[in-house]
Amino acid sequence: MASEGASWGEGGYEAADGAHIQHSDEQVDNIAQDSHVSGDAADNGTDDGGDYDPESVTFDTSAPAPDRAASATPPQRPASKPKMSGGFIVEASDDEEGEEDGDEEENPQPSGNAGPQSTVERADSMPRSASAAPPAPTDVSTAQASAPVAGLNPTALLEARVKEDPRGDMDAWLNLIADHRRHNNLDALRGVYNRFVEVFPQAADIWVEWIELELGLDQFAAAEQLFGRCLMTVPNVRLWTVYLNYIRRRNDLTNDTTGQARRTIAQSYEFVIDNIGVDRDSGPIWLDYIHFIKSGPGQIGGAGWQDQQKMDQLRKAYHRAITVPMSAVNNLWKEYDQFEMGLNKMTGRKFIQERSPGYMSAKSANIALDNITRNLKRTSLPRLPPAPGFDGDQEFREQVEIWKKWIAWEKEDPLVLASDEPKVFKQRVMYCYKQALMALRFWPEIWVDAAEWCFRNDIRENDKDAGTDMLLKGIAANPESVLLAFKRADHVEANYPSKEGDIAEYAKAVRKPFDDVLDTLYAMGDKVKEREQLEVSTLKQAAAQENGTENPGEDNGDEDDEQKQSQKSVTEERIQAIKKGYAVESQLLSRTISYVWIAMARAMRRIQGKGNQTDGGLRKVFTDARQKGRLTSDVYVAVALLESVVYKDPVGAKIFERGSRLFPTDENFMIEYLKFLHSKDDTTNARVVFETCVNRLVAKPETLHKAKALYAYFHKYESQFGELSQISKLEHRMAELFPEDPDLSRFTARYSSNTFDPIGAPIIISKAVQMRPKQIMPTIEQPTSMRNSPLPVRPEQSPRPQYARATASPKRPLGIDDEELNPPKRMARGVSPLKGAAGRRLDQQRRNQSSALHRDITFLLTILPPAHTYDGQILNAAGLTSLLRDTALPEPSVWNSKLGGRQSAPGHGRQVSGDFAGRPISPYSRLQSTTGGYRNSPLRTDSGGGHHINPYAPPPDPPSAPPAWPPAPTGYAQPPPGQYGGYRY
């Protein structure tokens, strides 16, 4: 503890009477100049890390990066004597950390958006000269400034788009190529082609267009040069087909007296098949090759040596072709079968039987590949992956998943080649990776996966390590990829040939991938700042022109002033929106840069140890990182923990102290700082740091939400190791600051952990009540309640699965009565009162007493759906009867007259009885008959007998009154519109 106390004293915690670095707003700026300057000066030469002090590190200002904004104006600070704070340069430069220090001293209160990005954000917001002009335009500004001029020249506009976004704007590339083709500008077209293939070296379609252009102009030398550049790196069937066509074009077989042309073409076919013969689309090449062999000298089936040679070549080609999963494998197998059976049926059956398993495997594999690649888009023009949540991201990731499934399928070895033909197996997997990388060139995961597979299987191509070549090509395609840089550095560190030799060279080789990706990321950060300044300046100029600031002498009254103020506020809002958008982008870049520095620091510590500020090691990396800037607090946390945990050096506490001044409102850093102090049992300074930070955060409403994480951590620590009074005070403060949080959550946070929650802990008291299974199927215990109860939840696989056929056994009812508390068993069932015949009799009596209906009818009613579930039309029987009774039908004579006087056929007519003359055919008509036959008929409702009077029949009309429904022109009565077809039942 003595050493720890000394270290804290050296770090500036030597104040007495409890004033352990009170990080107040007034003191936080003076610490950097007073306490640490003097204290650290005394530390030099001591045993507590005196050889390295983060406060005394000076920057190498021999070649500082120029500030573009400041370059347009005279320097505001003397270059001969830069301003220092705690040994750090704080002059205006691209060093974000230095700007942070200077800004922090000028403005003690941190801005609301301070945190991990506070270094970058506050550096960008430093006051500049009022006469400072916008920065000199570079690529972006040139493109934007020339936009009005380029609008008159589409080619110049496309060139500007290509220069601005070479990897992303594929449409601009293609339109530019088409524009030069349309104008027949061959020299410019060749230049565009050359630039395009430098950015997209595996774009087979563009290579084919360029080669066909040269071949169309009979530029064979240029075409051969292009073949040499692309043929071995672009495994594309179309490109290799163009190569074959060129070879056959240059070697005439019609005048081949020496046979050299045929040998050249045969060698070209073998060369092509060896490289792309495993492609699924290589079927036409296989068929052409077999046709080429058949067209050669010799006769199949002949006895001469040339005939035998031709037969052997053809058989060998067939044997290779029928084992490749492709769409033409069936046709090739049929041709091979005819070839063998045409030579000799006995030997043909033997050959076919031997080759049949290979063909069947290829056929089934082709079907499997068809299923896997059904939605795959095999393209050679790669696109940048859309950001998550934006247009096209889902489709792009679906394509990635399909490629991964294809690669995984190849690795599973469905053709059983790994044991018998390992070279062919590795060739197929490598070919699949290369095909995927043509479409997913800008997806680093595929590059890393391919390199890792090559390393595990010791793949070598052209006497080079294929895995290393994959990583280098991937880094060239994605120079900003942190994943590829990490993988490359890790591979170099693990496989460096002379680890025991020169350590400096070893460290330099490991550090190179980190430095390359950092250079790319820093350049991207500069480009982001340039774009932001350009957009803001352009917006301000446009607003100035709209507000009429060009004529300041004019005065149009108060209304114009109000309009100008509103326009100015709108402009300010747009500027703030632009700055926020670019701040998010800068934040992402800064965090990425910081983690690259952290990875480099850990790697250099493993190789060179702690090191120093000049020779190398951990401290050299930390010094370089602070010189280049754009760091977040994560770098300080990582380096401080390495110094403290690995080397037990008190310098770690000083680094934390330095970070607390650079990032005073970064809650994540402060939590790590508190954890560090608690690990050192320095609770006093931990409480000081906590109080200082939360007071700073709660002082402004925009930073209040950041204090919640600090309060949560400190509350958990106090709950575990503190006093109850301190816990209560802390909870009271949390309740005042965050009233939206429930009080119970703060109380339960005392006792909760990652694996236990006092609220959500399920304590089972009664299994019968608390663990009752949910009812899925209906029961037959209570038919009455079933008809009146709502339907249970049921799946939709069948029309009515909830009405499944149930058993009618009285001994084992299906469900559990809701009023009984039965213990859960393997199957829900009722409890019989008695066993045997007595129980069955009692149960039968109970059932008969509960319902007056028969048992079968009761059972039918239980399985029928309730009436409220029927949503169709319900038949009204009384209405239908009334309709039939009240409908007046015409007499036959009237009916025949309406039909044009046609009479019924003899033998089919009905003789009308005189007793029923003068009445409608229907016996239920309202018309009164003049005869007494129907009056005495038992069909009448008012006659005696066993018939009852229809209660729904309307009262009879008076004799003189006309019918309620007058006859229609056709003789039919037309009822009023109703429910079915115009009738109301």
> What is the C-alpha separation between 803 and 370, in angstroms, rounded?
43
Structural contact between residues 199 and 382, judged by C-beta atoms closer than 8 angstroms: no
- Quickly tell me which residue has 């607090």 as its tokens: 633
- Report H helices in 851-891: 855-863, 877-886
pLDDT for residue 835: 58
Single out the residue of 642, 634, 632 nearest to residue 606, CA to CA.
642
Instruction: Collapse the DSSP code of 84 into the 3-class scheme (helix H, G, I; strand E, B; otherwise coil) and give the result.
Output: strand
Instruction: Collapse the DSSP code of 223 into the 3-class scheme (helix H, G, I; strand E, B; otherwise coil) and give the result.
Output: helix
Tokens of 111: 């801005």
pLDDT for residue 933: 45
> What is the C-alpha separation between 810 and 550, in angstroms, rounded?
99
- Mind spelling out the 3-state secondary structure of 679-745? HCCCHHHHHHHHHHHHHHHHCCHHHHHHHHHHHHHHHHHHHHHCCHHHHHHHHHHHHHHCCCCCHHH
Structural contact between residues 33 and 599, judged by C-beta atoms closer than 8 angstroms: no
Instruction: Collapse the DSSP code of 195 into the 3-class scheme (helix H, G, I; strand E, B; otherwise coil) and give the result.
Output: helix
Structural contact between residues 698 and 736, judged by C-beta atoms closer than 8 angstroms: no
Instruction: Collapse the DSSP code of 201 into the 3-class scheme (helix H, G, I; strand E, B; otherwise coil) and give the result.
Output: coil
CATH number given to 154-396: 1.25.40.10
Q: Are strands 460-461 and 464-465 parallel, antiparallel or unpaired?
A: antiparallel
> What is the C-alpha separation between 362 and 321, in angstroms, rounded?
10
pLDDT for residue 887: 86
Delimit the domains of the chain by residue range. Answer: 154-396, 651-754
pLDDT for residue 862: 79
> What is the C-alpha separation between 539 and 587, in angstroms, rounded?
23
Neighbours of 868 (CB within 10 A): 10
Q: Rounded to the nearest 5 degrees, what angle is found at the Cα of 771, between the Cα atoms of 768 and 773?
A: 100
- Quickly tell me which residue has 């060129």 as its tokens: 246
**Total number of residues shown for the chain:** 985
Please tell me the pTM assigned to this model: 0.65
Q: Which segments in the chain show pLDDT lower than 70?
A: 1-152, 547-561, 564, 776-852, 900-985
Instruction: Collapse the DSSP code of 431 into the 3-class scheme (helix H, G, I; strand E, B; otherwise coil) and give the result.
Output: helix
Report phi then psi at 886, rounded to 5.
-95, -5
> What is the C-alpha separation between 955 and 934, in angstroms, rounded?
19
Tokens of 32: 């950097």
Structure confidence by residue, pLDDT tens digits, 409-449: 999 999 999 988 999 999 999 999 999 999 999 999 999 99
pLDDT for residue 633: 94
> What is the C-alpha separation between 723 and 766, in angstroms, rounded?
38
pLDDT for residue 764: 87
Structural contact between residues 471 and 517, judged by C-beta atoms closer than 8 angstroms: no
Question: What letter represents residue 633's amino acid?
Answer: S
pLDDT for residue 858: 78
Which residues, other chains included, contact 91 with Cβ-Cβ below 8 Å and sequence gap of 6+? 77, 79, 82, 83, 98, 102
Half-sphere exposure of 405 (CA within 13 A, CB side): 15
Structural contact between residues 625 and 63, judged by C-beta atoms closer than 8 angstroms: no
Angle formed by the axes of helices 482-495 and 503-547, nearest 10°: 170
Instruction: Collapse the DSSP code of 117 into the 3-class scheme (helix H, G, I; strand E, B; otherwise coil) and give the result.
Output: coil
Neighbours of 181 (CB within 10 A): 14
Single out the residue of 717, 707, 700 nearest to residue 666, CA to CA.
707
